[in-house]
Structure 1
Amino acid sequence: MFNEERRNQIVALLEKEGRVEVKRLAALFGVTEDSIRKDLRALESRGLLQKAHGGAVPVTRVSGFVPYQERGEPERKRPIARAAVALIQPGDTVFIESSSYTHLMFYELGNMPDVTVVTNSIYGLPELVRRVNLIQLGGTVHKQDEACYGPFTLYMLSQINFDKCFLKPAGITEDGKLTTGLQESLAVKQTALKQSERTIVLVDEQDWGRRDVYNVCAIDAIHTIVTNGLPEALAKKWEKKGIAMVKA
């Protein structure tokens, strides 16, 4: 396959899924990760995508967000978001970190005027503010993630006590480590863990066994896993550690 043909297919895949990853593309096309990175740089220089950590996302502007309905595989992600929202109780103060899965939680929340939601997301806030008490953490905006990170974000986060926090790791390794690919997200996750009575993680079935760059915590530091699929042996293993499993 010629380079240009492969690049055209990358753009088509990005339009379909809302995000592409270097490792997956390298396996899909049978080329090295360096070749894929060159493809992404070339496509970015032509304005066809934006490079993000570990892959690429569509070209967007902060003032013109892609509607959540058009993001990659919303029908796959929505049941996980819906099952997570069901764990929120009246009177809760919760932290919901920014991710394409947790963004969908904003649209699954009913009117909960006695629930306080704290988030580092800048996506979907007009929708969220109509439904709950909203605290948006300040900080430096990371355009690709549509989220705030940095020392101001962490300071605000460290001043709030949460009943629950909802986190989306990049993966959970076979030996039970939650991992993430973005350094800024690592700090947010670890601070939220310290501030929360209960930690709930959203895990896609494709995330099991996946190891990314940074270790967030060991699996026994969390309380509940919401997932759309988990091998039975793993489910029994984690349940023995006292972790509740919620099937989406």
Structure 2
Amino acid sequence: MLAAQRRALLLERLVLDGRIVAKDLAAELGISEDSIRRDLRELATGGLCQRVYGGALPVSPAIANYTARQAVAVDSKTRVALAAAALIQPGMAVILDGGTTALAVAQALPKALQATVITHSPTVAAALGQHPDLEIYLLGGRIFKHSMVASGAAAVEAAQAVTADLFLLGVTGVHHEAGLTTGDADEAAMKRALSRRAADTYVLASAEKIGAASRFSVLPVQEVAGVITDAEPTDRAVQDLTAAGVSIFPASVE
């Protein structure tokens, strides 16, 4: 089998199986694991998969720039946002992450809601400006333009001064083994810092992020209160999360 044919097969298996185990596929094809690993390196260099120990996972489509992501899975993000917004009760203090799904949550909040929202995203803070009864706290630091959020040491230090009832966490990948992942190390560190400041953390996960992975780990999936997603309950990746002990909060699929 030619290298190009193998790589096409690898991509097909990623779609069908949701992962590649290099050892198993090498045995099936009667070739060396090194050949599979070389193919996976080539695919990963082209942004077509995310390499993990022992194989590869589907790459998250949420690694595009902020402007491009605003046009990705808009309806899916809206469903997740509406379900997440329903968790916020009057009087709560809530940490709201940055990114396009978090922005959709901000836009979904009732105008009359009385609560406190803490965010490190200037775009999210600006979207909340039309809510007259919300207290808004904006954490500062270096702006990571991919998600339009503050990150780095200054932002992490600012996070230590807040506490909240709830953190609505945005990530680019949710996988039962790879955990919660994102594409930048500083952003991952900021998300971890914010999760430690809230009593409960819920993940905002539109369907395209379920079963996918990015380069940097945020948290193990078992460390959050639940994952809010509109992915179908019959989806294999959702079933794997449930089997791993993760609570799935379905966003309505119409």
Q: Same fold (TM over 0.5)?
A: yes
Alpha carbons 1:174, 1:208 under 8 Å: kept: no
Over 3 Å counting, the alpha-carbon distance change for 1:114 and 1:245 in structure 2 is same
Q: 1:99 corresponds to which letter in structure 2? A: G
Deviation at 1:226, TM superposition (A): 0.8
Does residue 1:95 correspond to 2:86, yes or no?
Answer: no
In structure 2, the residue corresponding to 1:211 is in which secondary structure? coil
CA distance in 2, matches of 1:189, 1:225: 15
1:81 match:
81
CA distance in 2, matches of 1:55, 1:197: 28
The aligned runs of 1:10-159 (5 Å cut-off) are 34=45, 56-57=64-65, 71-112=71-112, 114-131=114-131, 132-159=134-161
CA distance in 2, matches of 1:34, 1:175: 22
Over 3 Å counting, the alpha-carbon distance change for 1:159 and 1:214 in structure 2 is same
1:189 match:
191
CA distance in 2, matches of 1:209, 1:73: 15
Q: Gapped runs of 5+ residues in structure 1? A: 1-30, 38-52, 59-65
Q: Gapped runs of 5+ residues in structure 2? A: 1-41, 49-60
Moved more, 191-200 or 237-246: 237-246
Please tell me the root mean square deviation across aligned C-alpha atoms, in Å: 3.1
Deviation at 1:206, TM superposition (A): 1.9
1:213 match:
215
Q: 1:145 corresponds to which letter in structure 2? A: S
Q: Percent identity?
A: 20
1:241 match:
245
Alignment equivalent of 2:173, drawn from 171, 174, 192: 171
CA distance in 2, matches of 1:129, 1:117: 11
Alignment equivalent of 2:203, drawn from 193, 201, 204: 201
Count matched residues: 195
Alpha carbons 2:63, 2:183 under 8 Å: kept: no
TM-score, normalised with respect to structure 1: 0.68
Alpha carbons 1:139, 1:153 under 8 Å: kept: yes
Q: 1:141 corresponds to which letter in structure 2? A: I
Alpha carbons 1:239, 1:245 under 8 Å: kept: no
Alpha carbons 2:176, 2:241 under 8 Å: kept: no
Displacement over 6 Å in runs of 4+: none
TM-score, normalised with respect to structure 2: 0.67
Higher relative contact order (Cα pairs below 8 Å, separated by 6+ residues): 2
Q: 1:130 corresponds to which letter in structure 2? A: Q
